[in-house]
């Protein structure tokens, strides 16, 4: 009985059906299904498996994001029933598009993926001044700061922020990832970023890897 409903929930997430996922999750809760089981055996695996397919070029981003939204819908039902320990996020990620740049579709895709993979994401939006990035790092204490830039003339702000973090004495407290079409691995290395993210799921995996190193001197 439990297995059947878990399979159904997993299927509705895979199919990107947020409302159906909500309904099925509510039913499952009413039938005393363990919320942690719903999370770990239905909601999360659905997205992980679709994510793996996406990495292999066998699934579409639009389906992956819809699945992520369905996961979030189901998760919002579970949340009040999870203990703080169970609710714990993979990590905290602060994201934004740099000053002078209003492009955000790439950032939106990455944000969705991070949330689907269990990150708590604080989105600062677009045209974020360097000063704001630094202030928000101090305020929210994220594990990772991610910055997007789409113009060759705004990329420089990614370097500016890293330098300002150093000046504020907090560069060691946070890992920095950068992305955006004109950015390259070489640019990321040149400006002292910790990682460069280009593809949606790959970026999340790099972020998870960075978590292992937060607080270390690497």
Partner 1 sequence: MGGIAVRRKWEPLTTEQIGKIHLASLEILNTVGVKVKSERALDLLKEGGAEVDFGDQVARIPSALVEEAVRKAPSSFTLYGRRREYDMKMEDDRVYFGAGGTAIYVIDLDGNRRLATDKDLADTTRLVDALPNVDFTAGLVNPHEIDQDILYPSMWVTLLNSTEKNVLHGIRGAEMTRDIAEMGSLIAGGEQDFRKRPFITCCCNVVSPLQHEKLMIESAIESAIQGIPTTMSPETQSGATGPATLAGTIALFNAEVLSGITIVQLARPGAPILYGCVASVMDMKSCNYAAGAIELGLLSAAATQMAHHYHVPVYATGGMSDSKVSDIQSGYERAMQMIIVALTGANYLHDAAGLLEHSLTFSYEQLVVDDEIIAMVSRVLEGIRVDETTIALDLIKKVGFHNYIAERHTAENFQKEHYLPRLSDRSAWDKWHKKGAKSLNLVAREKAKELLRTHFPEPIDKETNARLAKIVARWKREP
For partner 1, the binding residues (CB under 8 A) are 54, 57, 59-62, 100, 102-103, 105-106, 109, 152-153, 155-156, 181-182, 184, 186, 199-200
Q: At what angle are helices 61-78 and 44-55 packed, to 10 degrees?
A: 160
Nearer to partner 1, 24 or 149 (CB): 149
Minimum distance, C-beta of residue 51 to partner 1, in the bound complex (Å): 13
Minimum distance, C-beta of residue 144 to partner 1, in the bound complex (Å): 20
Nearer to partner 1, 35 or 179 (CB): 179
Minimum distance, C-beta of residue 125 to partner 1, in the bound complex (Å): 13
Rounded to whole angstroms, how far apart are CA atoms 146 and 158? Answer: 9
Minimum distance, C-beta of residue 218 to partner 1, in the bound complex (Å): 27
What stretches of the chain show up as alpha helix (H) in DSSP?
A: 2-14, 18-30, 35-38, 44-55, 61-78, 84-87, 105-116, 130-140, 156-167, 185-191, 200-211
Nearer to partner 1, 82 or 168 (CB): 168
CA distances from 131 to 2, 96, 157, 168, 184 (A): 51, 13, 11, 10, 24
The distance from CA 117 to its chain's CA centroid, rounded to whole angstroms, is: 6
> How many CB atoms within 10 Å of residue 83?
9
Nearer to partner 1, 78 or 191 (CB): 191
Nearer to partner 1, 23 or 103 (CB): 103
Minimum distance, C-beta of residue 31 to partner 1, in the bound complex (Å): 36
Please give the radius of gyration of the chain, using alpha carbons only, rounded to the nearest integer: 18
């Amino acid at each position: 009985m439990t297995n059947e409903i878990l399979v159904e929930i997993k299927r509705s997430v895979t199919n990107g059906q947020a409302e159906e996922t909500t309904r099925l999750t509510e039913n499952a809760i009413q039938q005393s299904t363990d919320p942690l089981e719903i999370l770990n055996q239905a909601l999360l695996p659905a997205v992980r498996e679709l994510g793996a397919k996406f990495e292999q070029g066998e699934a579409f981003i639009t389906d992956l994001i819809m699945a992520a939204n369905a996961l979030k819908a189901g998760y919002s039902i579970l949340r009040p029933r999870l203990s703080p320990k169970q609710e714990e996020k993979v990590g905290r990620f602060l994201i934004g598009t740099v000053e002078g740049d209003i492009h955000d579709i790439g950032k939106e895709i990455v944000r969705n993926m991070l949330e689907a993979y269990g990150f708590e994401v604080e989105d600062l939006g677009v045209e974020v001044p360097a000063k704001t990035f630094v202030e928000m790092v101090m305020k929210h204490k994220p594990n990772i700061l991610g910055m997007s830039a789409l113009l060759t003339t705004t990329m420089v702000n990614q370097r500016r922020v890293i330098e300002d973090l150093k000046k504020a004495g907090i560069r060691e407290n946070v890992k920095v990832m950068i992305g955006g079409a004109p950015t390259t691995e070489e640019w990321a290395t040149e400006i002292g970023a910790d990682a460069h993210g280009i593809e949606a799921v790959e970026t999340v995996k790099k972020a998870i890897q960075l978590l292992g190193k937060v607080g270390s001197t690497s």
